[in-house]
Chain A
Amino acid sequence: MIALDRVTLEVPGRTLVRDIDATIEAGEFVCVLGPNGVGKTTLLRTISGIAAPASGEIAIDGTSLQAMSANERARHIAFVTSDDLLSESLRVADVVELGRFPHHQWWQWGATREDDEAVARALDAVHMREYAQRLFATLSSGERQRVWIAMGLAQSTPVLLLDEPTSHLDVRVAHEILALLRAIARDGTAVVSVLHDLNDAAAYADRLMLLGCERLLAFDVPDRVLQPALIESAYGIAVERIDTARGPRVFAATTAVS
């Protein structure tokens, strides 16, 4: 599905991560973890095709990302970014309908029946059907996040990327969003999301991708990634691990690293 072959990510003057080799399958929910500035968002931007890798190759279903046009990429990958820039008085349905953009030819200005159905399905999936005619600007943070996810779903892509979809959300809404992503993955979409909360990631994801020290430190099931030594090498803070009936949980040790 998504294959990363020796992918190196850079920002001007700095290498973020070197030589990532990874494969993400359809129906998998993968969470990308790592400290601030390690390159999590850059990784998603690169997988989405918005940014190019410094070296290496990314392929979706065997086709190189670099060989695809912007439109073609957007029919394969939806990317729910963390920017919340929306200056217009758009309605929820207008926003979600923009997800159909890559399915239109340049001369197609209006929505087709297929578009309407995809928008309705996407709104249903995020439980926002009754909000379709509401102004986006009047929604809460959690509702907005649902609308952005619906826009990604309306793109009808096999891959859905999300950059910190639960930031600024209260605990209940954050769990609703994660459960939603879990359900989307179960329906066959490859879902890759950057998260900061290690325990949320462990609770919902199939596999965790841990970045740190300029490399991919681990890419495995939560039980094998949430190891105190690994977490400490990534974040530079000691953690304690508790195994619960619902999987491993980690907590910062009482004395933080200076």
Chain B
Amino acid sequence: MLRLGALAVIALAVCALSLLPGGSSVSPLAVYAALLHPHAHDDITTIVWQLRLPRVAIAAVVGAALGLGGALLQGMLRNPLVDPYLTGVSAGAAAAIALAILAGVATPFLGVLGFAAGIVTAILVATLARRGSGLDAYRLILAGVSVSAFCSAIVALAIARANSPDAAQQILAWLAGSMAGRGWSDLAFALPYVVIGAGLSALAIPALNALRIGDVRAQTIGLNVARAQWIILAATSLFAAASVMLAGLVGFIGLIVPHVARRFTGSDARVMLPACALIGAAFCALADAIARSIVAPSELPIGVLLAFVGVPAFLYLYLHAERPA
């Protein structure tokens, strides 16, 4: 619990610091003063409450959702190399959004469309992976990879056939992941699904712990493995779809955060899942803050930044740090 408390404090501190960088030059004191007076009618309050706070909140929610989704799927499949996008959500969303951009669908509808397409693709992958009343781990991986490859081909075709450089640019920007232009209304749309996903994750905690000794042994101690698999897959799909809707394709977090969390807390899901949410939230908020300040006033795509900075850092951590005692 002490470690979780420390992680919560760190996550809050990172989110608070992430409010500081931005296009307008506002002093830290003014930012925090504006936080305390949400109804004041001045520019700083507007900047903080309508631009920076929703952005940080979205980054934190996306990070937490992807961290949790990764932990759930890695735990269920006992495979440390999978991430929430194995559900096909991101690939399905990407294909739908790429086609929608070509068809001239207005930008505000893209996120919702991506969410819906992501969920439909996840259902397709789950159907393909079904065996008996549950899911087959190998089929899930095979179906996830195959459907994702198919959708990626649609995206590539859409980029190649884009009739304007702007459309191709828009598709690429979405693929690279960004929270630019998102606000409270986007968060309000996605948050209920994240909350449902979190509820399902809480339900799955005993199952995740039991699955650490393998499917067969988990069955011998009374776990209904099939039911646990469906709950975990539903939660992961909701997390992935909500993240994709809010931020496009933000890779890496769903893969790496569970590894980092396990190093801090061990594999007990009662502690590890909350740790994943906190580390994911802090990580994504920090990455977004850097992405929008490092080449200000323009922004780096967060997915690119995470890959450039996060992957070497993770590899260093993983290859050099001692395993927890």
Complex: chain A residue closest to B205, CB-CB: A109
Q: List, in ascending order, chain B residues with CB within 8 A of A110's CB.
A: 270
Q: Quick one: CB contact mask for A65-91 with B, threshold 8 Å, 1 for yes? A: 000011111110011110101111110
- The answer on a CB contact under 8 Å between A50 and B213 is no
**Contact between chains at A95 and B213 (CB < 8 Å):** yes
B210-A98 in contact (CB<8A): yes
Contact with B along A84-116 (1 / 0, CB 8 A): 011111100011001101101010111000000
Beta-carbon contacts under 8 Å, A125-159 to B: 151, 155
Tell me which residues across on chain A come within 8 A of B216, comparing CB atoms: 50, 81, 83, 85
* Cβ-based interface call for B203 (8 A): yes
Q: Contact at A74–B213, with CB atoms within 8 Å? A: no
* Given contact pairs A89-B323, A109-B206, A102 touches B212 in the complex (Cβ within 8 A): no
B266:A85 contact, CB within 8 angstroms: no
Complex interface: chain B residues within 8 A of A69 (CB):
224
Contact of A83 with B217 in the complex, beta carbons under 8 Å: yes
Cβ-neighbour of A50 out of B203, B219, B266, B323 (below 8 A) = B219
Return chain A residues, CB-CB under 8 Å to B104.
Answer: none
B78 contacts the other chain (CB 8 A): yes
Residues from chain B with Cβ under 8 Å of A86 in the complex: 212-214
Cβ-defined contact, B205 with A74, below 8 A: no
Asked if B324 lies at the interface with its beta carbon under 8 angstroms from chain A, I say yes
Are B206 and A106 neighbours in the complex by a CB distance under 8 Å? Answer: yes
- Tell me the B134-172 residues at the A interface (CB within 8 Å): none
Q: Which residues of A sit under 8 angstroms from B223, Cβ to Cβ? A: 70, 101
- Is A85 within 8 A of B217, CB to CB? yes
Does A48 sit at the interface, judged by CB under 8 A? yes
Which residues 238-266 in B have Cβ within 8 Å of A in the complex?
A: 266
Q: Chain B: interface residue count, which band?
A: 20 to 34
Residue in chain B with minimal CB distance to A82: B216
Asked if B209 CB lies within 8 Å of chain A CBs, one says yes
With A89-B323, A101-B206: A83-B222 Cβ-Cβ less than 8 Å: no
Inter-chain contact B214/A73, CB cutoff 8 Å: no
Q: How far is the CB of B72 from chain A (nearest CB, A)?
A: 15
The answer to whether A104 touches B206 (Cβ under 8 A) is: yes
CB-CB under 8 A from B219, the residues of chain A are 50, 70
Given A70-B222, A70-B223, A78-B220, the answer on whether A98 and B214 have CB atoms closer than 8 Å is no
Decide yes or no: A109 and B270 within 8 Å by CB, A83-B216, A86-B213, A98-B213 being known contacts: yes
With contact pairs A50-B220, A70-B222, A99-B221 given, residues A90 and B267 touching in the complex (Cβ less than 8 Å): yes
Scan B265-301; emit 1 where CB is below 8 A from any A CB, else 0.
0111010000000000000000000000000000000
CB contacts (< 8 Å) of B323 on chain A: these are 89
Within 8 A of A (CB), among B30-84: 78
Other-chain residue from A87, A89, A102, A109 in contact with B222 (beta carbon distance below 8 A): A102
Q: How far is the CB of B77 from chain A (nearest CB, A)?
A: 11
In the complex, A69→B206 CA distance in Å?
A: 17
With A and B bound together, what is the CA distance between A75 and B205 in angstroms? 20
Q: How far is the CA of A83 from the CA of B266 in the complex (A)?
A: 23
Contact A101 B221 (CB under 8 A): yes
* Closest Cβ neighbor of A100 among chain B residues: B221
Is the CB–CB distance between A85 and B205 below 8 Å? no
A83 near B214 with CB under 8 A, answer: yes
Contacts of A108 in B (CB 8 A): 206
CB within 8 Å of A: which B208-235 residues: 209-210, 212-214, 216-217, 219-224
Residue in A closest to B323 when the chains form the complex, CB atoms: A89
- Residues of A near B268 (CB, < 8 A) are 94
In the assembled complex, the Cα of A48 lies from the Cα of B212 at a distance in Å of 20
Query: Considering the chains assembled together, what is the distance between the CA atoms of A102 and B216 in angstroms?
Result: 15
* Shortest Cβ gap from B230 to chain A (Å): 14
Q: B213 near A70 (CB under 8 angstroms)?
A: no
Min CB distance A50 to B, Å, is 5
Determine how close the nearest CB of chain A comes to the CB of B73; give it in whole angstroms.
Answer: 15
4 nearest CB pairs, A to B: A74-B222, A102-B222, A85-B214, A79-B220
Given contacts A71-B224, A86-B213, A155-B221, 8 further A-B contacts (CB under 8 A): A48-B220, A74-B220, A78-B220, A83-B216, A87-B78, A87-B212, A98-B210, A109-B270
Report A's interface with B, CB cutoff 8 A.
48, 50, 69-75, 78-81, 83, 85-90, 94-95, 98-99, 101-102, 104, 106, 108-110, 151, 155
A-B residue pairs in contact (CB < 8 Å), sample of 28: A50-B219, A70-B223, A71-B222, A74-B222, A78-B220, A80-B220, A81-B216, A81-B217, A83-B217, A85-B78, A85-B216, A85-B217, A88-B212, A89-B323, A90-B212, A94-B268, A98-B210, A99-B221, A101-B210, A101-B222, A101-B223, A106-B203, A106-B206, A108-B206, A109-B205, A109-B206, A110-B270, A151-B221
